[in-house]
Amino acid sequence: MPDLDIDFVRAQFPAFEEPSLQGQAFFENAGGSYTCRPVIDRLTRFYHQRKVQPYAPYEASRLGGEEMDRARTRLAALLGVAPAELSFGPSTTQNTYVLAQAFRQHLAPGDAVIVTNQDHEANSGPWRRLTQAGIEIREWAMDPATGHLDPGALAGLLDSKVRLVCFAHCSNLVGEINPVAEICAMVRDAGALSCVDGVSYAPHGLPDVRALGADIYLFSAYKTYGPHQGIMVMREDLAMALPNQAHYFNADTAYKRFTPAGPDHAQVAASAGMADYTDALYAHHFEGPAGPSGRANAVHDLMRAHEVKLLQPLLDYIGQKNSARLIGPADAAQRAPTVAVELAQAGEAAAAALAPHGVMAGGGDFYAVRALQALGIDPGKGVLRLSFVHYTHEDEIARLIDALDRVI
Ligand SMILES: Cc1ncc(COP(=O)(O)O)c(C=O)c1O
């Protein structure tokens, strides 16, 4: 495995050349990442040259439509799924909302859905509201001391009434990487479907969704170096079995069924830039050709290795601070570099204190209010969250630790 060429990586992000951002180390990536250059270039080109209704028989329109289709096809290939299985929506929250409407019609009173208290509200609240339709909601609760979600505890909740299990690949608060393939296999064996929130995982390397065995997998492009879109992968036979939520005449097309509104054409087209970026990372670091899944897997491992190397010193530093409670695992290999810390002071106050030191971080509840409550943390006080990705430089970690030393 080669080392990540950090200079090459950072050259793909205009934010690192932006004068107004110089001297600012970005540690709120889990809220939304910087956008890579190919996405910005495609977005600009679309607005300049193709901002017409797509799929009509004139050149600008044809090119726009083709670019939208290519974005879906190329991203699907990198994720190991068929093009018809990938759809775009305004955000992950809106995608789960629409999905929950479909399941409300699909399920019957007495059926059960399992949710966790580890998830962001996007993959929790819309499902919990199904109680209004007579559906039983069971909570798979995490360990209140560590935030760990134990698959053994899920086993005790699964029975023949359970139709759907919703959980996160990685919580945006706890950061621990859940064993998705193992959980999806358990769910499948119990005759139920899995809906996995991958929003906090995908920025750290695109997953092979087919290999994970998830029936539904969601993530947000704007946290994955792309435009402000939600991306949803759903097995095609499931997409065709769930009630259509789009215009009736679009019902035959799997990827249109859960996007009730017209999509944001320019952003969908620009999402192809995420595939350009993955391919550029592959070409720069690896020899020889590989298929889309092979390229995505190699880039995933490259990103992860860099992140794990930078993360461990930060975890070690926080671990020896009496004033800080680290949420989630202390071993970098088990988690994403999304590090929430409970302090005596409010999370937002700590973030504000870090800003003059050139550290851009966030504080608050991060819409994981149930997770905070489960961990015994007042959501009003919240946590400080320090989140980074593969483009983070080790000098920025040093700056962060130095700033933390003055603030916490
Ligand atoms: C883990 C997780 N899931 C879901 C969401 C919601 O994503 P979106 O903003 O695309 O609705 C977020 C956003 O912060 C998140 O962190």
Question: 273-295, pLDDT tens digit by residue?
Answer: 999 999 999 999 999 999 999 99
pLDDT digits (tens, 9 = 90+) for 16-70: 999 999 999 999 999 999 999 999 999 999 999 999 999 999 999 999 999 999 9
d(CA 351, CA 383): 9
Ligand 1 center–CA 196 separation, angstroms: 12
C-beta separation of 164 from 135 below 8 A: no
Which of 367, 370, 389 is the best mutation target for the ligand 1 pocket, counting ligand atoms within 8 Å of the beta carbon and taking the most? 367
What ligand 1 atom has the least distance to the C-alpha of 367?
A: 14
Ligand 1 center–CA 222 separation, angstroms: 10
Average pLDDT, the chain: 98
What ligand 1 atom has the least distance to the C-alpha of 122?
A: 4
243, two tokens: 């009630």
Ligand 1 center–CA 406 separation, angstroms: 31
Residue 365 has pLDDT above 90, yes or no: yes
| DSSP code at position 228 | S
What ligand 1 atom has the least distance to the C-alpha of 95?
A: 11
Give the three-class secondary structure for 140.
Answer: strand
What ligand 1 atom has the least distance to the C-alpha of 366?
A: 14
Ligand 1 center–CA 265 separation, angstroms: 21
d(CA 272, CA 260): 22
For residue 249, the model assigns a pLDDT of 95
For residue 305, the model assigns a pLDDT of 98
For residue 138, the model assigns a pLDDT of 98
Residues 6+ apart with CB under 8 A from 58: 52
What ligand 1 atom has the least distance to the C-alpha of 119?
A: 1
Minimum CA distance residue for ligand 1 atom 16: 172
How many Cα atoms occupy the beta-carbon half-sphere of 119 within 13 Å? Answer: 27
Residue 167 has pLDDT above 90, yes or no: yes
For residue 54, the model assigns a pLDDT of 97
For residue 367, the model assigns a pLDDT of 98
Q: List residues near ligand 1 (CB under 6 A).
A: 30, 91-93, 120, 122-123, 168, 172, 197, 199-200, 220, 230, 367
For residue 104, the model assigns a pLDDT of 98
Amino acid at 107: L
For residue 262, the model assigns a pLDDT of 85
d(CA 55, CA 63): 8
Instruction: Calculate mean pLDDT across residues 300-317.
Output: 98
- Orientation angle between helical segments 292-319 and 59-78, nearest 10 degrees: 60
Phi first, then psi, for residue 117 (nearest 5°) are: -105, 15
Ligand 1 center–CA 234 separation, angstroms: 18
Ligand 1 center–CA 175 separation, angstroms: 14
C-alpha triplet 171, 176, 181: angle, nearest 5°: 90
Residue 261 has pLDDT above 90, yes or no: no
Which of 220, 264, 369 is the best mutation target for the ligand 1 pocket, counting ligand atoms within 8 Å of the beta carbon and taking the most? 220
For residue 252, the model assigns a pLDDT of 97
Residue 392 has pLDDT above 90, yes or no: yes
Instruction: Calculate mean pLDDT across residues 172-186.
Output: 98
C-beta separation of 59 from 52 below 8 A: no
For residue 169, the model assigns a pLDDT of 98
For residue 174, the model assigns a pLDDT of 98
- Please report, rounded to a whole number, the percentage of residues in the chain having pLDDT higher than 70: 100
d(CA 144, CA 326): 13
What is the pLDDT confidence band of residue 359, given thresholds at 50, 70 and 90? very high
Distance spanning both ends of the chain, measured CA to CA: 37
For residue 26, the model assigns a pLDDT of 98
Ligand 1 center–CA 223 separation, angstroms: 9
Ligand 1 center–CA 294 separation, angstroms: 27
C-beta separation of 61 from 54 below 8 A: yes
What ligand 1 atom has the least distance to the C-alpha of 230?
A: 10
What ligand 1 atom has the least distance to the C-alpha of 220?
A: 10
- Orientation angle between helical segments 272-285 and 59-78, nearest 10 degrees: 50
How many Cα atoms occupy the beta-carbon half-sphere of 139 within 13 Å? Answer: 13
Which of 88, 173, 200 is the best mutation target for the ligand 1 pocket, counting ligand atoms within 8 Å of the beta carbon and taking the most? 200
